[in-house]
Every structure is written in structure tokens, then in C-alpha cells.
Amino acid sequence: MKNFITIIKSDYLQRTRSYAFLITLCISLAVAYSFIPAPGASYSTIRIGDYLGFYNSSWIGYVTALMTSIFLSLVGFYLVNGTIKNDINSKVGQIIATTRVSNFGYLLSKTISNFLVLCTIAIIIFIMSIILFFLYNEGFSFEILQFITPYSIIVIPSLFFISVLAVLFEVFFIQKSILQNVLFFFLFSIMALSGSTDDTSKNFYLDAFGTKIITSQMEETVRSTVGQEDLGGLNIGFVLGNVSEANHFLFDGVDFPIGYILSRIGWIIFGILLLGLASLFFHRFKVKERFQLKSKKTLLQTKIDNDIDISILPKVALSFKILPLIKTEFILLVRSGYKWLWILNIAGMLGLCFAPLSIAHQMILPILWFLQVSRWSSLVTKERIFSTHFFTFASYQPLKRLLLSQVLSGILLALLLALPLLLRYMIQLDFMHITSIILGGIFIVSLAVLTGILTKGKKLFEILFFMITYANINAIPFTDYFGGLHHQYSYLGGIAILVVILLTISYSIRNIELKRI
């Protein structure tokens, strides 16, 4: 039991003390602040037709709990995923394997530490929601249970199940982070879509996020208020416009039935059962190394005289050209990851060729670029991953040559993947969309460079890129970085300015870092 608690404590402290967690926490606070739009804001997060809720305790408590369940489930997997891989790389896992900790105990401890990390963020958002109530209060009384109840019944089981999924993916897809990221992306999309369809049914028990019962109760409240069935649909997310003209209704919370509460507990039990099943297949750190020992070759008994005339060898000439570096970095990008992933890349490029332009631009392109998340996240971090940064940083002009070649190779990969779509727009002489796609590729590479230099790791970029991609697929306007929704030169100018800022900050931080070595 002591070893079990020690694993949980050390793992939790290690991750909460990292820069990636600190930055993710700050981003979570900023996002949580936007869950409840300020009075007079031009957007809404939950709207039933033309109706919004009054800012009472029930509305703020349940809306923030609903958004937290979706948001933390969305980014939480990428935040806590990789804990078993870290134990493998640091050789701590081999030490744990020699102890009396069972496979199930180890996996459960990792799940609990994942859960505690996510709960830490959820608690901060919970406190933020109470602060928002007092900031935006419209004369309603403060009811603490309207905050505690939804967070306890909705958020906690969701976070525990996501923590279980993070461990399960590592058990069954050993050290295959790319496959884990891609599979979870599609799994989350399926779970979110299944939870948002068939709103008339009362089958809330299979909703892993637990949000369907809340939205259904909100719709029922509006129906009873206005006396009509057709409300115009439910919108969840950051919806712009028509806020000043919206009507308001009073939401009094949800009276959760006992069966539903038991189903939420059932999700936790189901996750524990999945861990028990996974413990039967857990490798217990008996992972094959990537290198193989070569068999010794037998030396020839006869001596072969084959003298080399040094004078006929080509002379070595110094060259400080950047093109060979760009070529090398680009080859490293292309060859990194698994070869089978290029099947998906080629399929995506074919989709850009033949799909309707709107679908190709708004749906296929962001997914195709997201498949490169592992490549771009290691663009400026691979030196530290393989402990070669002291060697590469000591090279000739590491800023003007090495960093620039890494940025250009990343942009080249983005534009190569988007080439079919660029050619289609070029045939139509649509230079607006061509410029937006080029700026989008530069932006996402610039973001990867900045987050990599800032955190010296891959985790933060993976989280941000997943959030941005999912938001773009759901057509959230302010996350459009590649011109899928905006077609104004002023918007492209804003993206260009943002790119310059990202690259300038990256250059400055790397310059300071080099001076300290």
C-alpha cells in the first residue's frame, strides 16, 4: 500500500510541477472565464434556439460543469497521456517492476494520478465559476449546491473515465504516441456526436460526458416557458451574434434520478474493470528496445592489400549553405513516425483533390495537418529528446541556420500536404484562399516552434493543436487559422501579425537560451 501511494504522489507532483501543466492551467483559466459570457458579450456558449438562461446559480453552475466536462475530456487525455512511456524512458518502470506492486495496482495508481491532475484543473475552474457568479450576478441568491452537484455527478466520472482511457491506450499501443493521438481524436468525436444526437430519448446512461441530461432539461424548461415544441435547436460552443436579441428563461437545475447517479458511478466501476482487463496484457516494462545487437563478423584469414591513395580523394570544402540543412530537417520530418501513417496522409491528399472545396478546406485540411502533430511537436525538441542539444547548439549560427532550417522544413511539409488544394484554388485564380492556406501552415509551425522552445517538450503543442483542430471542425470562427471560415484580407493580416509575433518570441527565447549554455 505504501508503494502504491508513493507512485501516485511522485507522479502527481512531477507533472504538476512542469511548465506544460502550468501553461495548461493558465489556458484553462482563460477558457473557463469564457464559459460564461460577460453581460454585453457578442457570443454565447449554450443557447436553446433564441433563448439564454438568466445568470443564477443553477445556470452558471451547470453550464460551467457541462463545458468543463467536454473541455477537460478534450484536452485532458493529451495532458495526462504518456505517463507509462515516461517511466519506460527514465528506467523507473524497470525498478517498479522489481517491487511487489501488481500490474493492476500500478495501472490503478497511474489512473488515479491522472485523475488527480485533471481534478486539480477542475477545482480551479470550479472556483472560477463561483467568482463569475458574483461578477455577473443579476440579483439571484447564491446556492453552493447548484455548483457542487453538477461538478460531482457530471465532471468527476467523466474525468476518471478519460484517465482510464489514457492508461489503456498506453497499455495496448505501447510507445505509439501518434496512433494514440489519432485514435483518441476520432474516438472523442464519435463520443461527442453520439451524445448530441437523439435528444428526444431518455437514454442518458450511456453518455460518458454526462452532458445530455443537462441539455435535455434546459430544452424542457424552455418548452414549458414558451409553450412550443420547435425551439430551433441546441447550440453548444462559442456561437457569435444575436445575443442582444435573445430571450431569457429561468433555469432551476436538474433533479438527477437515482438511476442516473448510479449510472455515473457505473462509469467509474466500468473504468476499473477495464483496468483489470488491461492488467492481464500489461507488458510490465518488458519492452523491446529499438536497436538490435549485430552478430560479429568473421575476419578473413588472408590479408588483402588495398591501399587507398589519399591524393585522388575529393577535397573537403567548407560550406555554410542552408539548403542542405533544410533538406536534412525535411527528411527527418518525413521519416519520423510510422510508415503506415503516410497511407492516411495520401488518402487525405486525395480527398483534397476530389472532395468539394468547402469540405476539403474546412474539414479535410485541418485533419490532415493534425495527423502531423507528432512531427511538428518534435521539430525543435528532438535535440533535447535525444540529448544532442549541446552539440547542435554549438554549431555554426544555430539561430540563422539551424532554427531557420527547422522552421522552413516544417512549413514545407505543411504546404506539400496542402498542395492539391492549393492547385485547385490556383486554377480558379483564388489568391485569397491560397494566401490563407499558406499563412495557416506558417502559423501552425510557428506555434509548434514557440511551444517547443518554451516548454522543451511536446505535450503543450499536442494539447493546443487538438483543441484548435476540433474547434475548426465544429466551425468555431475565432480558431480559424487557415481561412476556412474567414475570407477577408484584414483577417489574413491579423494572422500574419500573429505569425510574426510567434516567430519573434521564439527567436528571442532561443537566443537567451543559447547565451546561458
DSSP string covering 112-132 = HHHHHHHHHHHHHHHHHHHHH
Alpha-carbon torsion (36, 498, 514, 415), positive or negative:
positive
200 pLDDT higher than 50: no
Residue predicted with more confidence, 474 or 276: 276
513 pLDDT higher than 50: yes
Q: Residue 168: helix, strand or coil by DSSP?
A: helix
Strand 51-53 to strand 234-240: parallel, antiparallel, or no bridges (unpaired)? unpaired
Q: Residue 395: helix, strand or coil by DSSP?
A: coil
Q: Are 56 and 90 in contact (CB under 8 A)?
A: no
Range 118-133 average pLDDT: 92
Share of the chain above pLDDT 70, in %: 91
Categorize the per-residue pLDDT at 290 as very low, low, confident or very high, splitting at 50, 70 and 90. Answer: very low
48 pLDDT higher than 70: yes
Range 152-168 average pLDDT: 94
Q: Are 337 and 374 in contact (CB under 8 A)?
A: yes
**Domain locations along the chain:** 2-279, 323-516
pLDDT digits (tens, 9 = 90+) for 11-21: 888 888 877 78
- Structure letter (DSSP) for residue 394: T
301 pLDDT higher than 60: no
Helix (H) or strand (E) holding 53: strand 51-53
Q: What is the mean pLDDT of the chain?
A: 85
Q: What secondary structure does DSSP assign to 400-426, as a single string? A: IIIIHHHHHHHHHHHHHHTHHHHHHHH
> Is the pTM for the entire model greater than 0.75?
no
